[in-house]
Amino acid sequence: MKYAKILKQEYAYNKSEKGMMMGMAVTCKNFGSTKEGQEVKLYTIENKNGMVVTVTNYGVNIVNVIVPDQNGKKEDVVLGYDTVEGYFTNGSFFGATIGPSANRIANASFMIDGVKYQLIANDGTNNLHSHEELGYHKALWNAEVQGENSVLFSMEDADGNMGFPGNKQVKVAITLTDANELKLAYHVSADKNTLINMTNHSYFNLAGHDAGQIENHKLYINASAYTPVDERLIPTGELASVEGTPFDFRELHLVGERINEENAQLKLGKGYDHNWVIDGCDGTIRKVAEVIEETSGRSMEVYTDQPGIQFYAGNCITPVGGKNGAFYGKRSGLCLETQVFPDSINQEKFPNSVFGPSKDYEAVTIYKFNW
């Protein structure tokens, strides 16, 4: 079974964690009801180091990631809501599991095997994150606790739903290890060739979800190139060098250091909202990014087997009240969304994003925290 392979790959990433699972636990409680009255659950995973992750089966939205700082003080470092009702709207996709296709698709359409598929245009003429109301982040998933540190979420997605072909079996395993790794393992099988490009849209603020803007976070991205965009924020097809540009994060830079420079690409995105091309991507899990917040001493490393990563600096967060009375606005959090390149389905030179009977979709992303 291919899904077993992805879980094997996931755990093989860090063999030193074997035998370290003592003190871990998964608990479950009610998190309210859907609009239709279905019961929603909230799953909490704790590790021996004081980290806590909570995730709901409504949309597999990551609700909390609680991490100690260098003095042992714990803070929640992801933006989100206290109740499930907040996720009914969630215009900025806080914590969201995005699928079947993340990011933008030009003209909200694509061709597979000579057939044109039309999606909803919900971002000008583009499709963005599949569908605002029917996307995976708004679905009620099945959930099964796996051992002492993991929850497996699953759902069925019917042929033609949101305009995408193929009956799909979708699984996302969320795991918290004693190595302080939040692991996301995705698997999709489909009975037709279809577009699959999943990601998680969590917004991180390592000073705390209610600590204000993230411009003083330091960022590293292991990428010598990025994909410039046009006025619709659709990649032009070029793989542009980051050398000598504000997009060069091969050494640590403050997020806010160059974000307001006179740069045409930054103006289009109102700051950083672009895909970086991961150096040396070969389908294995490797470190692709790191974020450091020096006041708290917290840092987060990002590992993935995917070819791209979207760094979004939260430039257009819809101003909204969040957890514990916090107010979220522009650049209150940043996203590092691992992915196949945006609009790959319409660009022959970009990595493959078509999966189906002959090839399942499998992907792993790891957010590893240090303090």
Percent of the chain with pLDDT over 90: 93
Q: Say if residue 352's pLDDT is above 70.
A: yes
pLDDT digits (tens, 9 = 90+) for 301-341: 999 999 999 999 999 999 999 999 999 999 999 999 999 99
Look at residue 23 in the predicted model and tell me its pLDDT. 52
The answer to whether the CB of 353 falls within 8 A of the CB of 113 is no
Compute the residue count for the chain.
371
Q: Is the pLDDT at 5 greater than 70, yes or no?
A: no
Residue 103 in domain: yes
Question: Residue 63: what pLDDT?
Answer: 98
- The answer to whether residues 235 and 275 touch, using CB atoms and an 8 Å cutoff, is yes
Instruction: Indicate whether 245 belongs to any domain.
Output: no
Q: Which residues pair with 362 in a beta bridge?
A: 187
Task: For residue 265, tell me if it sits in a domain.
Answer: no
pLDDT tops 50 at residue 3: no
Q: Which pLDDT tens digit goes with each residue over 252-271?
A: 999 999 999 999 999 999 99
Mean pLDDT, residues 114-136 taken together:
97
Residue 61 has pLDDT above 70, yes or no: yes
Q: Poorest-confidence range of 3-7, 161-165, 364-368? A: 3-7
Mean pLDDT of the chain: 94
Q: Which residue segment(s) compose the domain that 33 sits in?
A: 2-215+313-370
Residue 254 lies in a domain: no
Asked whether residue 26 carries a pLDDT value surpassing 80, the answer given is yes
What is residue 25's predicted lDDT score, i.e. its pLDDT?
85
What pLDDT, in 10s, does the model give residues 75-86? Answer: 999 999 999 999
Note whether residue 363 is domain-resident.
yes
Q: How far apart are CA 220 and CA 62, in angstroms?
A: 23
- Are the CB atoms for 198 and 363 separated by under 8 Å? yes
Band of residue 10 on the pLDDT scale cut at 50, 70, 90: very low
Query: Does the pTM exceed 0.85?
Result: yes
* Residues 67, 352: Cα–Cα separation, whole Å: 36
Neighbours of 283 (CB within 10 A): 11
Which residues 6+ apart lie within 8 Å of 105 measured at CB? 119, 126, 127, 128, 195, 342, 343, 345, 346
**What's the CATH number where 146 sits?**
2.70.98.10
CB 132 within 8 A of CB 96: no
Number of structural domains found in the chain: 1
In this prediction, residue 6 has a pLDDT band, given cuts at 50, 70 and 90, of very low
Does the pLDDT value for residue 8 go beyond 70? no
Asked if the model's pLDDT at residue 46 lies above 90, the reply is yes
Banded model confidence at residue 95, pLDDT cuts 50, 70, 90: very high
pLDDT of residue 350 exceeding 70? yes
The stretch 56-71 carries a mean pLDDT of 98
pLDDT-derived band at 9, boundaries 50, 70, 90: very low
Kindly list the distances between the CA atom of residue 143 and the CA atoms of 22, 39, 43, 340, in Å, as whole numbers in the listed order. Answer: 23, 12, 9, 26
272 in a domain, yes or no? Answer: no
> Mind listing the pLDDT tens digit for each residue in 142-152?
999 999 999 99
What average pLDDT does this structure show over 234-261? 98
Residue 136 placed within a domain: yes
Contacts of residue 357, defined as CB under 8 A and 6 or more positions apart, other chains included, come to 190, 191, 192, 193
Active site residues: 201, 337
**What is the 8-class DSSP label of residue 161?**
G
What is residue 33's predicted lDDT score, i.e. its pLDDT? 98
pLDDT interval class at 70 (50, 70, 90):
very high
Asked if the structure places residue 286 within a domain, the reply is no
